[in-house]
Structure 1
């Protein structure tokens, strides 16, 4: 299932959303070889594109992207913020600080090189089960604005394209997207602007993604994993 966003106002999405293509990193020393990164030259999405991204009625919650404003806990504890939304199954996975002006933000902890746009693999799911993974709740803690970048093509579709003979036995992986892009297939990504206090719930096990502070100041973000029901948090779009 392709990228679908829960929204009721396409113009509100267009106001904070741009689109670009991707390329694979080659000689950039900051990136892993073959990492998938936006080509830049971001352009506004069209009315037709915003409508196409709108989630149809009945879209499974596990594959849905929501742009939200999470409520801050009364006591200020980030550990407890998500518990009322998902019960004990919610997992707080910590915070990440992004430096200013980063095209993408996630690095490989082993050597510090940026991994580019990627799939999460917390749940280690097979091809068949990939849409059932936990979604990630993120809250921009500021002080700067940041972006969520999302790929328009889901992990199952890319896995089928790269492994046509045995995709059903595979575990869809970031490497599939790297192969897909390196083979010259077109892949569009969108970036969604998130001010401090804003956030998202997204199927990061299922959609190519990363954060970005391109042309922005530094910001921190907090993360949780859970099987969130759709519509639990106030939507910004």
Structure 2
């Protein structure tokens, strides 16, 4: 496992995290063929798995943080919320509203089909440099609860399972789909985010998506990209 989730209270992590395996979508109208999806049923996080998710000195590049909105007065605009976090070049990506009860949330904007777990490529980095990409900050603006879905292997490990030479390779979601189609092991974790809660995660590295599965209300998420050090926002757990 290369995924690491920052936490000081294992019980708090266990209370908001489940895990399951994955499957490949085939001939499903809502999804692209080959999309990687949670297979279910979701199972509560065990004490052993929580311990395996604890960060080490080697896990900075794959570290995920569950965070609270910054203290203090609200910013003048939502777009400037990340200005106080220490990266003057941080980029506000905008907002996305997800319907209720969606297993995964990100659509292909060409035809509306959902893409499932995927890898971001904002920074257009080769495999050996993927760990230097910007991290994504996300806050759930509500009104409903949503989830962050995360694969337990980063895309470098996925590519090593498929390619003999990864040094010049540009990783893509297609590699994740090919890896899953071969039946190679991948676990997905589901982390609950209530309104006002968020995450900072290396979405250039980790298979991920949003979800509103089993949630009766839609939710809107706001997103930023930046180079933020660990601990820049208070942790939820």
Specify the TM-score bucket, using the shorter chain as the normaliser.
over 0.9
Q: Which residue of 2 aligns with 1:180?
A: 179
Deviation per CA, 1:86-117: give whole Å up to 9, x if none: 33211000000000000000001111110000
Q: TM-score, normalised by structure 1?
A: 0.96
Task: List gaps (5 residues or longer) in structure 2.
Answer: none
Checking the alignment, whether the CA contact within 8 Å between 1:17 and 1:45 is kept in structure 2 is yes
Partners of 2:227 and 2:189 in 1: CA distance: 24
Q: Which residue of 2 aligns with 1:224?
A: 224
Partners of 1:40 and 1:59 in 2: CA distance: 27
Q: Which residue of 2 aligns with 1:107?
A: 107
State the superposition RMSD in angstroms.
Answer: 1.2
Checking the alignment, whether the CA contact within 8 Å between 1:86 and 1:226 is kept in structure 2 is no
Partners of 1:58 and 1:2 in 2: CA distance: 9
Q: Which residue of 2 aligns with 1:235?
A: 235
Deviation per CA, 1:126-154: give whole Å up to 9, x if none: 01100110000000000000000000011
Q: Which residue of 1 aligns with 2:202?
A: 203
Partners of 2:132 and 2:87 in 1: CA distance: 18
Partners of 1:223 and 1:47 in 2: CA distance: 31
Alpha-carbon offset, residue 58 of structure 1: 5.5
Q: Which residue of 2 aligns with 1:149?
A: 149
| SS at 2:161 equivalent | helix
Spell out structure 1 runs of 4+ moving beyond 6 A: none
Alpha-carbon offset, residue 71 of structure 1: 1.8
Going from structure 1 to structure 2, the CA distance change for 1:111 and 1:5 (only over 3 Å counts) comes to: same
Partners of 1:53 and 1:121 in 2: CA distance: 25
Q: Which residue of 2 aligns with 1:71?
A: 70
Partners of 2:26 and 2:130 in 1: CA distance: 29
Q: Which residue of 1 aligns with 2:169?
A: 170
Alpha-carbon offset, residue 169 of structure 1: 1.4
- Whether 1:29 and 2:29 are equivalent positions in the alignment is yes
- Aligned pairs for 1:78-93 (under 5 A) are 78-93=78-93
Q: How many equivalent pairs are there?
A: 235
